[in-house]
Structure formats: structure tokens, C-alpha cells
Amino acid sequence: MDVMVFRGFCAQIERLTVGEMRTLREMLRTLDARIEVRAKIDARGEKLSSCVHCGATGLQRWGATRTGLQRWRCKACRRTFSAATGTALARVRYPEKFLQVVADMLGRAPSSCRRLAARLGVNRMTIWGWRMRILAALTGQRETVLHGIVEADEKFFRESRKGSREWANHERDPARFPRPDRPRWRDYARLGLPRPTGVSKWRIPVLTVVDRAGAAQADVLPDRRAESLVARLEARVGADAVLCSDGDGAYDIFARARAMPHYRLNAKTGPRVIQKAFHIQTVNNLHSRFETFMQPFCGPATKHLPGYAAWFIARCFSDQTAAQGAAWQRLLAA
């Protein structure tokens, strides 16, 4: 801005009405948030040494994007890109609002998509799409290995096909689309059918492991076979760990194969605590918090369950500022 124009603008500020002052204050606050987010994204661009498209090293500055990010041009392939290209922030028109969605998801009580959309002034489906991007980034984060006394157990969620068109497609064209292998959950009560109870293929297992240092992980298992459970335990539990479980045979197989101390605890038949140190109360408490966290979503589709599990684990950080920083770094990872 020209110096004289800026001085004239400053001289007119005192003549603003209360409503105009509030509007100006809101505009400055929004602009400040936009500049802050833009600086965070551009900081990644300054570290880029090669083209994100072809890998060549010859880069040159090439103006700015419509969101104000620094645009780069590759001298070899002549394609342009920014620091957001190839990340979860690619083609996001309002990065400052995207950051507010991240903060809301990791805050004390996440808002619904409708309420958050009304607050940010965007469409609710935009908020939903941004959430799916964030969940995908959280799901792909680096695996953490737990050490010390490790508690492991499974939490089961009812299989959900929310958003699926399988029944609508079948009713429209039965010859092309076969009959689904189970009714809709709401049809069990409507048709008077008994709902599946106990152990069934319609209950999706989620392996949760925690240690006494506060680290926690949750993984959606592809099935209920012992091989799937053991494979995830091998990726999550360190060789120096002491395993505490509910006594399921799969945990015993894993512990014996690695010569790992294994304490079997059963809440019904006992014992619940061994030597005042070995128990599964921490992981059971995690299950209770997990169930409370999932209640407002009314059974999200099973295909999205890994993302919701990663979202819950990200919220388990005691320092929410650190959790938001870690999530933001993951979103900026190509």
C-alpha cells in the first residue's frame, strides 16, 4: 500500500462507527490467521530442494497462488507447484479455516459438521471433506512401538455401511446387483428379525495397546483370526515389554513366540491385579473413553473406522497444543 494512502486510512479510523470498527477488527483477525497459516505452509516450501513432480533440482520462484502461497516452477518439466502440493492441504482455498477444523477436532469437545460449518461460514460438506483429509493423514502417521508394561485388549464395534447404496442398487436392478449378505440394521426391528449377538463377523475388532508411559495405539483388525492379531502386536509391542492381557489365546501365542513375560487377567474369574502392578485397567479405561468418543457419530461407516481410531488416539495427548502441532506436521507431509 502507498504510504500516503496508508496514512490517510489511519487518519480516518477514529471516524469509524462501532459497527464498522467491529467489522474491521474481525477482518484483521481473519487476515492475521490467514497470514500465520500461510507462513507455516511456506516454511515447508523454503525447504524443498527438488520438484515434487519430476524430482529435478532446478527451481525458481513463480509468483503466488490464489491463496497467497509462494508458487515454484521447475526448470526441467516447467510445471508449477506450491508447498501444499501433494499434501492434505492441496487445493484448500481457506487454509486458515482448515486449521480451525484441526483445532476443533483435537479440542475439548469436537463440534458437529453443521455447527462448525455455520461458525466458519462454509458448507457442511466442505467440513466433512476436510475431516476426511485430516483422518487420512492421521491414519498414515508413523507407527509407535510401546515398551515397559504393555496392556492389550480388543474393543468391538458393530459393522456399519452408512452411505452405502447396496440395498438401493439391489432393489433397482436385482440381476446386476446381488442381494446384500445382511439386512440394514434398522430392518431387524422393523421385520422382527433377531439381531446377531455375541461373537459374529458383524463385530469389527479394534486392537488397543497402552503402556504406563501414556502411549496408546488403536488398530482396526481385518478379521478375528489370531494371525491378524499377532501381526499387529509384533508391530506395536517392543521386545523388552511385559504383556498384560485378558488371557486370549492369541496373546499367549505372541508372548511365547517372543519369550515375553505374559500376565493373564480376567475381570470375571480373576485375578484382576497381580503383584499390585500388572493389570488391564488402563486399557479398559481407554475402551470406555473410546466408546464415549464414538457415541456422537452414531456408528460411522466401517471403512472410516481406522480414521476415527487414529483421531481418538490423537486426542489422547495430554498437551493439546502439542497434539495440534503434530497433526499439522502430518498434514504437511507429502
Would you state the pLDDT for residue 5? 77
Q: Which domain holds residue 65?
A: 17-85
Would you state the pLDDT for residue 148? 94
Q: Within this chain, do residues 262 and 287 fall inside the same structural domain, yes or no?
A: yes
Q: To 5 degrees, how large is the angle CA 156–CA 102–CA 307? A: 25
Q: Within this chain, do residues 247 and 266 fall inside the same structural domain, yes or no?
A: yes
| Residue 1 belongs to some domain of the structure | no
Q: Within this chain, do residues 173 and 241 fall inside the same structural domain, yes or no?
A: no
Q: Within this chain, do residues 184 and 211 fall inside the same structural domain, yes or no?
A: no
Contacts of 199 (CB under 8 A, 6+ apart): 224
Q: Within this chain, do residues 154 and 271 fall inside the same structural domain, yes or no?
A: yes
Contacts of 50 (CB under 8 A, 6+ apart): 56, 57, 59
Question: Residue 312: exposed, middle, or buried by beta-carbon count in 10 A (0-12, 13-18, 19+)?
Answer: buried
Q: Within this chain, do residues 168 and 29 fall inside the same structural domain, yes or no?
A: no
Would you state the pLDDT for residue 207? 95
Beta strands in 159-312 (DSSP E): 203-211, 216-220, 242-245, 262-264
| Residue 234 belongs to some domain of the structure | yes
Please state, in angstroms and rounded to a whole number, the distance separating the CA atoms of residues 210 and 224.
Answer: 20
Would you state the pLDDT for residue 142? 67
Q: Within this chain, do residues 155 and 245 fall inside the same structural domain, yes or no?
A: yes
Please state, in angstroms and rounded to a whole number, the distance separating the CA atoms of residues 216 and 315.
Answer: 11
Whose grid coordinates read 470375571? Answer: 268
Question: Residue 111: exposed, middle, or buried by beta-carbon count in 10 A (0-12, 13-18, 19+)?
Answer: middle
Question: What 3-state DSSP class applies to 146?
Answer: strand
Residue type at position 126: T
- Whether the ω angle into residue 222 lies within 30 degrees of 0, i.e. cis, is no
Q: Within this chain, do residues 262 and 154 fall inside the same structural domain, yes or no?
A: yes
Whose grid coordinates read 495430554? Answer: 318
What is the rounded end-to-end Cα distance, in angstroms, of the chain? 36
- C-alpha distances in Å from residue 334, one per residue of 44, 46, 93, 140, 235: 10, 15, 18, 11, 23
Q: Within this chain, do residues 291 and 174 fall inside the same structural domain, yes or no?
A: no
Radius of gyration of the chain measured on its C-alpha atoms:
26
| Residue 55 belongs to some domain of the structure | yes
pLDDT in tens, the chain (334 residues): 677 877 777 777 777 788 877 877 777 676 677 788 888 888 888 888 899 999 999 999 999 998 889 999 999 999 999 999 988 889 998 988 998 999 899 888 899 999 999 999 999 999 999 999 999 888 876 678 999 999 999 999 999 999 889 999 999 999 999 999 888 888 888 888 888 877 788 899 999 999 998 889 999 999 989 999 999 999 999 999 999 999 888 999 999 999 999 999 987 787 889 998 999 999 999 999 999 999 999 889 999 999 999 999 988 876 677 777 778 888 888 5
| Residue 37 belongs to some domain of the structure | yes
Q: Within this chain, do residues 227 and 166 fall inside the same structural domain, yes or no?
A: no
Would you state the pLDDT for residue 334? 58
Contacts of 107 (CB under 8 A, 6+ apart): 320
Last residue of a domain, one of 85, 112, 141: 85
Tell me how many domains the chain contains: 3
Element (H, E) at 103: helix 95-105
Would you state the pLDDT for residue 108? 83
Contacts of 130 (CB under 8 A, 6+ apart): 92, 98, 101
Please state, in angstroms and rounded to a whole number, the distance separating the CA atoms of residues 207 and 233.
Answer: 9
Q: To 5 degrees, how large is the angle CA 252–CA 254–CA 259? A: 90
